[in-house]
């Protein structure tokens, strides 16, 4: 029997497999090191395994003893992703992922912005330093929320749908703190809007 324990709530996935059989057994473990993970490490009985490469399978073939352990650690750094340039619906937009998890905006966490008007700060996205992952113990059972700088316009949202064209003026905007939550947790609170692909400026 094997016992596996893992967690997605921290900055990395820590998965521990412990052998519970009563005698020695020769088995082959195939561990997939997913391509989204920039940094991964594997230890057998606390001893590091060399040759770990992401996007491949790591094969562990040996005689296993009772209470042997295999520890897999995969870093879950947040990152922005973009779609193929021919996918016009997502042109000039980014989605946000953390490890294998897709994130989204929900109006409950962002009451100060409109789904139609919110923008990401492209300069901050490129730098990457402004993106912050914060464990929110009181949010949706304890998830990691991502905070990202963004913009929302000061334009009059009550303006007519059509009106006489006027000389173009720079759009006045103010900066806001955008809160992203894991997509799988959406629609568990009050009815509201949701957005995965967010345009950038």
Residue 136 three-state SS: strand
| Secondary structure, 3-state, 185-197 | HCCCCCCCCEECC
DSSP conformational letter for 25 = E
pTM: 0.81
pLDDT tens for each residue of 105-137: 999 999 988 888 899 987 766 655 678 888 887
| Helix, strand, coil distribution of the chain in percent, nearest 5 | 5, 45, 50
Query: What is the pLDDT at residue 126?
Result: 60
Can you tell me the distance from the alpha carbon of 185 to that of 25, in angstroms, rounded to the nearest whole number? 41
Q: Give the Cβ contact number of residue 101 at 10 Å.
A: 19
Query: What is the pLDDT at residue 8?
Result: 66
Going residue by residue through the chain, which has 201 residues, state the pLDDT in tens, using 9 for 90 and above: 667 777 766 666 777 777 766 778 888 889 888 888 888 889 999 999 988 888 889 999 988 888 888 888 888 888 899 999 999 999 899 999 998 899 999 999 999 888 888 999 877 666 556 788 888 877 888 889 999 999 888 766 677 889 888 887 766 778 899 999 999 999 988 899 999 999 987
Domains of the chain with CATH codes: 2-75 (2.60.40), 78-199 (no CATH)
Can you tell me the distance from the alpha carbon of 76 to that of 120, in angstroms, rounded to the nearest whole number? 21
**Across the chain, what does the average pLDDT equal?**
85
Query: What is the pLDDT at residue 154?
Result: 78
Query: What is the pLDDT at residue 159?
Result: 75
Query: What is the pLDDT at residue 157?
Result: 65
Report strand pairing: 143-153 vs 132-136: antiparallel
């Amino acid at each position: 029997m094997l016992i596996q324990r893992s967690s997605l709530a921290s900055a990395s996935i820590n998965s521990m497999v412990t052998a519970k059989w009563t005698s020695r057994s020769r088995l082959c473990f195939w561990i997939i090191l997913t391509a989204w993970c920039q940094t991964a490490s594997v230890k057998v009985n606390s001893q590091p395994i060399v040759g770990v490469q992401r996007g491949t399978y790591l094969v562990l073939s040996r005689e296993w003893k009772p209470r042997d352990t295999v520890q897999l650690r995969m870093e879950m750094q947040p990152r922005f992703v973009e779609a193929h340039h021919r996918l016009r619906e997502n042109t000039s937009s980014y989605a946000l992922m953390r490890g294998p998890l897709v994130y989204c905006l929900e109006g409950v966490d962002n009451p100060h912005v409109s789904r139609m008007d919110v923008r990401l700060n492209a300069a901050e996205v490129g730098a990457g330093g402004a993106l912050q992952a914060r464990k929110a113990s009181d949010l949706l059972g304890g998830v990691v929320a991502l905070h990202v700088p963004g913009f929302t316009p000061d334009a009059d949202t009550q303006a007519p749908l059509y009106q006489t064209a006027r000389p173009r003026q720079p759009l006045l905007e103010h900066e806001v703190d955008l809160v992203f939550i894991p997509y799988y947790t959406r629609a568990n609170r009050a009815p509201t809007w949701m957005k995965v692909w967010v345009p950038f400026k």
